[in-house]
Amino acid sequence: MEGRNLDEVPFVVLDFETTGLEPEAGDRICELGAMKLKGGRKGEVFWRLVDPGRPISQGAFSVHHITPGMLEGAPSMEEVLPEFLRFLGDDVIVAYNASFEMKFLGSELGRVGLPPPSNLVVDVLSMARRLLPGLGNYSLGRVARRLGVEHSQAHRAMGDVSATAGVFLLLLDMVRGRGINTLGQLLGFLGS
């Protein structure tokens, strides 16, 4: 896969909203969103609210505004994971602050006795820091504004997925301008 041209690589952009910031302390995913990308085109999407089986912290609620009522009747992560993993397949995972998202995904998989995904991962935050020096604040909203990418419904899974996808596609154009044309070259550029 690493030798493939970036236009031929199947990417899947993902984002999770959570009950808090620490999966090691029991925080869980309460919303997941993902979108397929290939050849610069946005494709199929996956979105689910998930019953996390625990309350959402006040801090997390103040960010994403997901209420207990919104999660009433939602499936458990154990129910959603098989479908989500099929959606991910072997595609390259793209996320903004990927280590955070992957930590939560790994925690949820560990709860059901599955290993972390073996997919390659591209962190859009790392790309932004390398390609847009001097911004100071590298929040998704700030980077999206800098690049002219719409970011509606910030801090909700599909709003952040859509903004991350738009930012990622523009940053891919920038790396191509530096002669980076394959997935392996991109991963090398990012120090992965």
The pLDDT assigned to 2 comes to 87
Q: Which residue is catalytic, options 64, 65, 151, 155?
A: 155
Place of tokens 């980077």: 143
Structure token digits, residue 125? 């935050």
Cβ neighbors of 116 (< 8 A, separation 6 or more) are 102, 105, 106, 109, 110
The structure's pTM equals 0.95
CA distances from residue 41 to 92, 131, 154 in whole angstroms, order as listed:
15, 22, 22
Q: What is the CATH code of the structural domain delimited by 10-189?
A: 3.30.420.10
pLDDT tens-place values along the chain, 192 residues long? 889 999 999 999 999 999 999 999 999 999 999 999 999 999 999 999 999 999 999 999 999 999 999 999 999 999 999 999 999 999 999 999 999 999 999 999 999 999 999 999 999 999 999 999 999 999 999 999 999 999 999 999 999 999 999 999 999 999 999 999 999 999 999 985
> Residue 192: what pLDDT?
55
Q: Is residue 176 a contact partner of residue 108, using CB atoms and an 8 Å limit?
A: no
64 is catalytic: no
pLDDT at 1: 85
Q: Are 74 and 51 in contact (CB under 8 A)?
A: yes
